[in-house]
Amino acid sequence: MFLTFRWFGADDPVPLAHIRQIPGVRGIVSALYDVPIGEAWPRDNVQRLAASVNDAGLALSVVESIPIHEDIKLGRPTRDRLIDNYAASVRAIGDAGVRVLCYNFMPVFDWTRTDLAMRLSDGSLTLAYDDAALARIDLSRGSGELPGWAHAYTPDELATLLAAYRGVTDEAMWEHLAYFLERVVPAAEEAGVVMALHPDDPPWPIFGLPRIITDAAALERLLRLVDRPANGLTFCTGSLGSRPDNDLPVMARRFAERGRIHFAHCRNVRRTGERRFHEVPHPSTCGDVDMRGVLAALRDAGFAGPARSDHGRMIWGEQGRAGYGLHDRALGATYLLGLWEGLARP
């Protein structure tokens, strides 16, 4: 394992120079944020991003993410051109030296919370999800009421998109994912890139939209769609850990032993009810995720890929992007480094 850190580009309030000072962090996880979804990523822009990271003494290790156009997820006829563009983007990141692509296959919304600033007893602010609170959100006014999605969709856009997904079953989503992977995995192989699908977050349907990447059986099915090493997983302990039926160390062992975990997101959650959880500090003692068990499984399997501390709380008065402040993620990184060092064989 080697440690990485997510960085949102030049607009990120956390500068690369600060990330460089976190012990053990060698890699950056980033993306191009100004390319419209569905268009091919310009090679020069990817090269410039990689160069700016190199100039800071770090390496662009992972691209997270190249978003997948909704027409691909919906299986529309326009998808072939969009998939060609996607493959071109994968080749562009491979040419820039990036070896891992983290992406997801969630319809309409990706990670979703109902509170971006829930106050914990220690005064820190964290991200929280409650299915009952989600049910009270009125999407007829667009995505404005959904925390973190204020400017994403107008009411008309959202209504059209939600209508398009009506009748799209889980099985249809699986078919659309297979169609995509059958065409993109070969391009990734040629480019020297491995694909690392991030589980759905939270891992259950929301707003009636299908969500299929939720548990061990789903991850198994995903790997079989295209049974090649370049079709692999981002093992996100926070996403998978918000379901009590996911045994994370067992899953980590099972998929890492087959060389199919390409990226680890390490985050801890506290489950407080049916489909209700909030994020907590990274150590195992702080929540329901057995982080030591997961890292021991990865260590035993010889995992040598990138890992990062996933979302952190807002602590010490830091202002910034919810889930992506510097301080708590840096604490998480040093915790992961210490765990890994303690687990290493002499």
286 is catalytic: no
Q: Which of 176, 262, 278, 311 is catalytic?
A: 311
CA distance 110 to 128: 15
Q: In this structure, what token pair is assigned to residue 240?
A: 């998978």
Distance of CA 34 to the CA centre of its chain: 19
Query: Which of residues 253 and 265 has its CB atom nearest to Mn ion in the complex?
Result: 265
Query: Which of residues 69 and 265 has its CB atom nearest to Mn ion in the complex?
Result: 265
Task: Specify the pairing of strand 268-273 against strand 276-280.
Answer: antiparallel
Query: Which of residues 85 and 235 has its CB atom nearest to Mn ion in the complex?
Result: 235
Distance of CA 162 to the CA centre of its chain: 23
Q: Is 310 in the site for Mn ion (CB under 5 A)?
A: yes
Cβ neighbour number for residue 166 with a 10 Å cutoff: 8
327 is catalytic: no
Query: Which of residues 231 and 234 has its CB atom nearest to Mn ion in the complex?
Result: 234
∠ Cα 100 171 138 (to 5°): 85
Q: Which of 176, 265, 278, 282 is catalytic?
A: 265
265 is catalytic: yes
Q: In this structure, what token pair is assigned to residue 192?
A: 């020297």
Peptide bond just before 65 cis, omega within 30 deg: yes
Amino acid, single-letter form, for residue 162: L
176 is catalytic: no
Closest by CA to 262, choosing from 95, 151, 100, 28, is: 100
Binding mask 178-217 for Mn ion (x = CB under 5 A): ----------------------------------------
Minimum separation from the CB atom of position 311 to Mn ion (A): 7
Residues 226-285 interacting with Mn ion (rule: CB under 5 A): 236, 265
Q: Is 130 in the site for Mn ion (CB under 5 A)?
A: no
86 is catalytic: no
324 is catalytic: yes
3-class DSSP state of 37: coil
Binding mask 315-344 for Mn ion (x = CB under 5 A): ------------------------------
3-class DSSP state of 31: coil
Query: Which of residues 71 and 328 has its CB atom nearest to Mn ion in the complex?
Result: 328
Q: Which of 71, 130, 215, 310 is catalytic?
A: 310
Binding site for Mn ion (CB under 5 A): 236, 265, 310
**Catalytic residue positions, numbered:** 198, 236, 265, 310-311, 324
